[in-house]
Structure formats: structure tokens, C-alpha cells
Amino acid sequence: MSVDAPPFRHDALFYTDAASYRAGLLAFIRDGLDSAEPVLVAVPQPGLGLVRSALNATESARVRTADMGAAGRNPGRIIGGVLRAFVAEHGERPVRIIGEPIWAGRSGDEYPACAEHEALINVALADTSAYVLCPYDVRRLDRSVLTDATRTHPTLNSGGERWESPGYTDPLAVAAWFDRPLTPAPPEADVLVIGPSTGPGTARRFVHSYAERKGMRPERIADLRSAVQELVVNTLLHAGGSGLLTIWTADGHVVCQVQDGGRITDPLAGRRPPEPHEAGHGLYAVHQLCDLVRVHRRRDGTVVRIHLALPG
């Protein structure tokens, strides 16, 4: 960050209806445009259509938009693929980003990863001059979600007013709090022991056969095979060479997890592209391939659980 660049800012915008949503987002966008700052709006539908329809032709030409329902379906992709990518594209210039990773309809499996993401934004972008605004629907989101937003955002915003959040605290501690134990695999899950005689090739065939029986499309089976290969290679190279691969179906998804004795100490591992000399390339690839990735760090190792949607 240059000496004259503004510090990183991260607000939660609380809105109550379409009018307050549009007013809050447009004020943020136009303040950025007036300051010649690049602007990215990454929100899900129908909010994205509402914003696009409110911008005039000149503004539309200057504002980048993205459907967060696709770009952020897996919240683990947002920091690297959306936020840091936009910041890096503009060097040290101040940028404005509207990102809405949490919306009504997010599943109970998705929410902890979303909240963890919100906390980790404060770490991942701390060295930038980005200004990130995250909308929260007061009417449709649970009160606990709104309370969590005050813990993950240094600043709150509503009705044209902006104030410091009384609940904001150490983002790494908050992210760790959302690293919760995962629900057990169901009794009918298929299990493969990973070891010297059951390496990546065996694991790929194991999950391919299961996903094919469940009707997964061939291109998604290829994604599943690739993701599982990365996880199994990590187990063999970095976790003592043994682990457990489990696969089952739940809520319209093929769910697969690898449990081993390895430790993932970097809270941003997989959420941003690692440098060439760093570990974590495999986990980053897994995030790009899957609809949801949950990482649970335990005292005796790590569980990585991936979700890929079946045809609806």
C-alpha cells in the first residue's frame, strides 16, 4: 500500500427492503466513481439485476458486476477469485467492492464457511486500500447471523450512517470459532482406507464409481476425481501417508471427505493462490472445483469435506 492510500475498510450494510438495498449500494458505488475508484459489485440475484437496472449507461460502463451466486457459491473461492483478484488487477489504487456472501437460502453447511470467510477478509486484505461493503438482509436473515456480522466487520452501515462495530474482535479468533466439528458421516457411507497400496489412482476410481451410480454428470465426476486426487496426495505427502476417504449423498450433493493426521495451520490455506514456494496449492485447486469446502482442524489432524451438486 502506498503512503497516501487509504486504509482497508470493511463494512456490513444492514438493509430492510429493496429500496434501502438499492440506496445503500448506489451511494457506495457513486462515491467510488466520484473518486475515480474502480468498483466491483458481486451480489446474487435478484439484487444484481436491481443494481444493474439502477445504473445509467455511463455508470454501467465503469462498474464491474458478478453474480455471487455463481462466483461465490463456494465461499472459499471469494477471497482469491473475486476480492484479491480485483485488488491485484488495479495495483495499489484504492478500489471499492460490494460483496454479498451471505444471503437467505444459504444452507446450514454453507453458513460457517461464509462467516469464516467474512472474518478472514480482514486478514487477507489488511495490506490493501480496498473498501469492501457486505449487504445483510435484516428481515430474512436470522438474528444470530446479524450478530455475527458485527463480529466480522469493523464498521457497520445503515440508512446512510456509518459507525464502528462494538462487537468486532480478532478476526483470526472469530474464524477459528467458526471452524466447528462436522456432522458425522452417515452409516451407509462408502469408506476407503488411504495408504501405501491405495493411492490416488484407487481413490479416483472409488469416487468415480460412486458418483456415476448417483447420476453425476461426466464433467462433474472429473471435478470430483481431481479434487479427491489433490486431497489424497496431500495425505500421502504431508500427513503421514494414511487416512480415511468417505463418500455419501446428502441434500442433492455428493459429499466426500478425507480425514488424516495432518495439520493445516494457515487459516487462509486454499482461500488464496499460494506463492510458488508455499504449500497449499492442492487445497486451492480443491476450492476451485467444488461447490463447498469445509475444513475442520482437530487436535489429532484435519478433516476436509467437499460437496458437489448432483443434477436437479
Q: What is the 3-class SS of 167-197, one letter each residue?
A: CCCCHHHHHHHCCCCCCCCCCCCEEEEEECC
Residue whose cell numbers read 450494510: 13
Domain coordinates in residue numbering, the chain: 9-177, 190-309
CB atoms within 10 A of CB 308: 22
Measured distance CA(162)–CA(156) in Å, rounded: 6
Residue whose cell numbers read 486484505: 125
Q: How is residue 312 annotated by DSSP?
A: -
Check: CB of residue 132 under 8 Å from CB of residue 84.
no
**Bigger pLDDT: 274 vs 153:** 153
SS3 assignment, position 34: helix
Residue 273, pLDDT score: 82
pLDDT band at 197 (very low <50, low <70, confident <90, very high): confident
pLDDT band at 312 (very low <50, low <70, confident <90, very high): confident
Residue 4, pLDDT score: 66
CA angle 84, 88, 94 (to 5 degrees): 95
Residue 277, pLDDT score: 57
Cell (9 digits) for 141: 436473515
**Bigger pLDDT: 5 vs 89:** 89
Measured distance CA(95)–CA(73) in Å, rounded: 23
Residue 114, pLDDT score: 98
Cell (9 digits) for 86: 480485483
> Alpha helices of the chain — where are they, by DSSP H?
18-34, 47-54, 57-62, 68-71, 78, 84-89, 110-124, 143-152, 171-177, 200-213, 218-238, 281-289
Query: Is 3.40.50.300 the CATH number for 9-177?
Result: yes
User: Considering the entire predicted model, what is its pTM?
Assistant: 0.94
Measured distance CA(11)–CA(165) in Å, rounded: 9
Fold designation for 190-309? Heat Shock Protein 90 (3.30.565)
Measured distance CA(96)–CA(103) in Å, rounded: 20
Condensed to tens digits (0 to 9), the pLDDT of residues 94-113 reads 999 999 999 999 999 999 99
SS3 assignment, position 35: coil
